[in-house]
Chains A and B, each alone.
Chain A
Amino acid sequence: MDGLAHGGRLKKIWSRPEIVPAILLLIAFYAGAKQSPFFLDARYLFDATSLYVETGLVALGMTLIIISGNIDLSVGSSVALVGCVVAKLMASGVPVPVACLAGLALGSLLGLANGLLVARLRLPSFLVTLSTMALYRGVAQVLLDTSSVPLPESFVGVDKFHVAKTPIPAPLLVLLVTALIVGLVLHRTVFGRWVFALGTNESASVYSGVPTARVKVLIFTITGLLAGFGGLFIDSRLAYARFDLANGMELDAITAVVLGGASIAGGQGTIGGTVIALFLVATVKTGMGLANVKAEYQLAVIGTLLILSVIVTNVIKSRSSRRA
């Protein structure tokens, strides 16, 4: 069940959920390299990952949510709202560290609201987060209208920093460290077991003493906090904030999680799979960008990828259950 440790026999490796996205990643890499000579430039590739760090942070939280049998469509809007509020605060003279903390608090609060609505009122998560998706971005739109707010120079350019003597940009390092932490929590703690239990059989987990409501509230809050970090990174990277930041990010994040082998019905998934699939989505998008594929077509490709990955997982699952 562990997505981070390696080793074991060959057979074990083949049956791991990460194998499909890993193979696809290699294929995408090959296709990208044939498409454009820039593609194999290590520095270019590493720098390109910075564009997907916000999506990645959000996808880590989304992995927990999907494993628990829920979904969060509001992540892109949460990133945007945090990004806008932080920019507004900094523009009005609030010190950078204070504004950052406020942004993280706001992100957690937005996630907490989702979690409470899902857990306490027992509402379907897709409807709750569909409405907060509109609501959170709506608030951002009312705050900024069509204006874009610049961020102070001292805060801008986190993606320009690199780990000493390597081409690894700072945001990528943050993403990998966060993935390690979330991975340990999911695969090595009781809380993580509860998340799986919730997604496998909710009523059974209630009877076996899992505090289901608290687990739900917590995973939505964690995702909100990660969206808060996403808001800070996107602000620092783009140097300005607009209400339409991170538009459609939920699609990329959900696609990464499902491609990474998580079952959309809950109870299955690994952080390692999500990280590999995230690089796959990033590679595909970077490749399409280099090939001058328009944004709308890219959206169509990702949407199709999402559906195909769910169907493939379903087919594999029904085949293996028939054999068992």
Chain B
Amino acid sequence: MKRLLQIREAGTFALLVVVVLAAYLKDHRFLEPASINNILLWVPLLLVVGMGQMMVIVTRGIDVSVGSMLGFAGIVVGMLFKSHPDLNIYLGLAIGCGVGLALGLINGGLIALAKVPPIIATLGTLSAYRGFVFIVSKGDQVDGNYLPDGLTDWSMTGPLHLGGVTVPWLLVYAAVVALAVGAFLKYTVTGRNVFALGSNPDAAALRGIPVKRVLMIVYGVTGALSGIAGVLYASRYGFVNPGSVGQGFELTVIAAVVIGGTNVFGGSGSVLGVVLGSLLLACVSVALAVLGIAATWQLLVYGFVILLALILDGSLQRWMASRTEAA
């Protein structure tokens, strides 16, 4: 399993190099500061939500409601900033996280306690939570002038400047989340249980792993991270529109996570893989824009990327199986 993951991570890295080189050779503007800044702004949202999605896929599940959870937290926090202009932005971030956690726990309850299959549960909440977004906001957008400057600064300033490139605070926060999730998976019992559960759910239950609790935690954390991403979204885009906030984001995230080497059959995945996958998808998206390929291609590219990762995983799996049989 570990070898497989390393092969997949190396593959993602190679693909990343190919994409960057191809885009650069086609148009040198791809590696100019403006484009790099753009890539660095793409990564944080993907990375934060991708951390949760990776854990979910490791447990053999899926969460397609992340875009709607992001949207709900984003609109709630946006409206709070509108009604309470002097709300502390870190408190806003915490509220977004809490709102997301609540929604994620609902998903977890449906899946772990009510035994609804993850794809059905989160397909249902994808629509239900999006409905909540419209109910809460009455369909109104939160305009940029209601968002505090401190919040939008997260995407425009940062601790590190190299030439014209700024490493935004958004990326710093995303990196903190990634490190925290990495430590959780590596050093805590619950974290190890996530992998045990994904490798063999029946054995995990027999060995006394609290399956229900692990699932609640995984889906709850994914909700909380989507909620954080909702606040980061407000910072990055400078407004929150109930129709577009997080709409379709689940596809981008799942693409980043599975192309980053998370095994679609469950049981393995890594923080590094998701980082590489997010970077790859960010580069692809920015490259499409720089090369003048219209946004119309985006959906096709995401679909193709996920399919590619699936076929790769499926073939690798069969190849490994045939090797162990021969040995």
The residue on A at minimum CB distance from B301 is A138
Q: How many residues of B contact A (CB 8 A)?
A: 47
Q: Are B125 and A303 in contact (CB under 8 A)?
A: yes
A9 to B93, CA, bound (A): 61
B19 at the binding interface (Cβ < 8 Å)? no
- Min CB distance B77 to A, Å, is 20
Main SS class of interface, B: helix
Out of B128, B302, B313, B314, which one reaches A303, CB within 8 Å?
Answer: B128
B254 at the binding interface (Cβ < 8 Å)? yes
A142 to B304, CA, bound (A): 13
- Min CB distance A138 to B, Å, is 3
Encoded as 1 (CB less than 8 Å from any B CB) or 0, chain A from 234 to 269 comes to 000000000000001011001000100000110000
Out of B124, B294, B299, B303, which one reaches A307, CB within 8 Å?
Answer: B124
Given A294-B134, A304-B124, residue A134 in contact with residue B265 (CB < 8 A): no
- A interface residue count range (under 10 / 10 to 19 / 20 to 34 / 35 or more): 35 or more
Q: Which of A18-26, A123-131, A221-229 is near enough to bind chain B? A: A123-131
A121 to B316, CA, bound (A): 10
A98 at the binding interface (Cβ < 8 Å)? no
A14 at the binding interface (Cβ < 8 Å)? no
* Chain A residues whose C-beta falls within 8 Å of the C-beta of B110 in the assembled complex: 307, 311
A146 to B306, CA, bound (A): 24
Encoded as 1 (CB less than 8 Å from any B CB) or 0, chain A from 100 to 131 comes to 00000000000000000100011110111011
* Chain B residues whose C-beta falls within 8 Å of the C-beta of A139 in the assembled complex: 300
Main SS class of interface, A: helix
Q: Are A304 and B115 in contact (CB under 8 A)?
A: no
A245 to B301, CA, bound (A): 19
B21 at the binding interface (Cβ < 8 Å)? no
* Chain A residues whose C-beta falls within 8 Å of the C-beta of B254 in the assembled complex: 130
Encoded as 1 (CB less than 8 Å from any A CB) or 0, chain B from 284 to 327 comes to 00000000001011111111101100110111011000000000
Hey, which bits of chain B sit against chain A, CB under 8 A?
Answer: 62, 64, 110, 114-117, 119-121, 123-128, 130-135, 139, 251, 254, 258, 264-265, 294, 296-304, 306-307, 310-311, 313-315, 317-318
- Min CB distance B113 to A, Å, is 10
A-B contact pairs, 29 of them (CB 8 A): A117-B310, A121-B311, A123-B313, A123-B314, A126-B119, A128-B307, A130-B64, A130-B251, A133-B303, A134-B300, A135-B300, A136-B303, A137-B299, A145-B294, A254-B120, A264-B116, A294-B139, A296-B133, A296-B134, A297-B131, A304-B128, A306-B120, A306-B123, A307-B125, A310-B116, A310-B117, A311-B114, A311-B116, A314-B114
Out of A127, A138, A299, A303, which one reaches B310, CB within 8 Å?
Answer: A127
Given A123-B310, A294-B134, A301-B131, residue A145 in contact with residue B116 (CB < 8 A): no
* Most chain A CB within a 10 A radius of its CB, from B128, B254, B317: B128
